[in-house]
Structure 1
């Protein structure tokens, strides 16, 4: 495979023939919104892991309280807090699954459909054009493509 020159277009990221600026910008906005949802999903998974770890640590602390002679305190925490739902009827894994099934996967499908309908499925056309406007041609670290 030969290296691509600065003058050669990257078909995967180039603007399809006849596509106007407003559409490229709008499709880029849909993709950017999905990127923010991806970040939110990552935070949701962090919340899931943080809460799970906190529950395990609290269980260990209850064991230590009991070992230190504080059975009633340990029992109260175990009965009221350890293993408690974080939302009504839900542990965090259920929140993550509901989010993935009812929002994240739906949005991903719609973002892909928008790109398929309006940009022949091409991704990051807006960003690719921004890169071309902002890079310094011929400078190390400003190559057109890998």
Structure 2
């Protein structure tokens, strides 16, 4: 990363840059490549968040199915058998998508798109940053932290 601060690091302190080895840019990696790898990582993070929402959907629909069954039982108990049957035939156990319950959606997503997104992101990271994760973010942190200020340590292991 181009930096005109020399060995002073962030905000002009009296130390050398302190990005830890697990996040250090490998020799030859350009700013544009590191930024692109960071963008691919961000894309994967959005895919991971979407996956979490898919699991939320899976659990929410499952709970709704149980509640529809309870509502049908309650309606039947008070003699409203036609409404109970409507719920049972139209809502209880119904496919959410054609031929699929939500567990099947989750499995197809995991086995397809999610797995591919992880593999592609890893391939980019392996090629550009030697497999190191969050190189772009580590360099951004180093640029933005204030040397010698509590709460701005370079790593969790840094002594003050």
TM-score class, shorter: over 0.9
Residue pair 1:6, 1:143 contacting (<8 A) in 2 also: no
Residue pair 1:24, 1:126 contacting (<8 A) in 2 also: yes
2:69 is aligned with 1:59:
yes
Q: Which sits farther off after the overlay, 8-17 or 126-135?
A: 8-17
Residue pair 2:96, 2:102 contacting (<8 A) in 1 also: yes
- What displacement does 1:136 show? 1.1
Moved over 2 A (4+): 5-9
- What displacement does 1:9 show? 3.9
Residue pair 1:6, 1:144 contacting (<8 A) in 2 also: no
Cα RMSD (Å): 1.3
| Alpha-carbon spacing, 1:47–1:6, altered in 2? closer, same or farther (3 Å) | farther
- Gap regions ≥5 residues in structure 2: 1-14
What residue is the counterpart of 2:10 in the other structure?
A: none
TM-score, scaled to structure 2: 0.85
Q: Report the count of equivalent residues.
A: 142
CA distance in 2, matches of 1:8, 1:124: 15
- What displacement does 1:117 show? 1.3
What residue is the counterpart of 1:96 in the other structure?
A: 106
2:53 is aligned with 1:35:
no
- Gap regions ≥5 residues in structure 1: none
